[in-house]
Structure 1
């Protein structure tokens, strides 16, 4: 995206990127015939890979 970047151009590109990521995800699921795992159970927390701090510890 060329400079100067305008807010509406960045927003439009963001939407395009999101749609492309969703298409890639659907394609990957189709060729592997697999679904993504569901969300973490409520009692579990996803650690931050950089620090190892969990969501529960951070709150």
Structure 2
């Protein structure tokens, strides 16, 4: 089993064929966004707007 420690981040993300630098950066950014923005930031934004709309109705 290969992991980042033994193979490196670029080989783990890109596979053995490799990617260009642009594709590597975009792939890494996409992965970070999917693991941080969606599960962490999106719920915070939803709670903010839900509490804001409740205050507006009062």
TM, length-normalised to structure 1: 0.43
State the structure with more CA Rg: 2
| TM, length-normalised to structure 2 | 0.44
| Greater RCO structure (CA 8 Å; 6+ sep) | 2
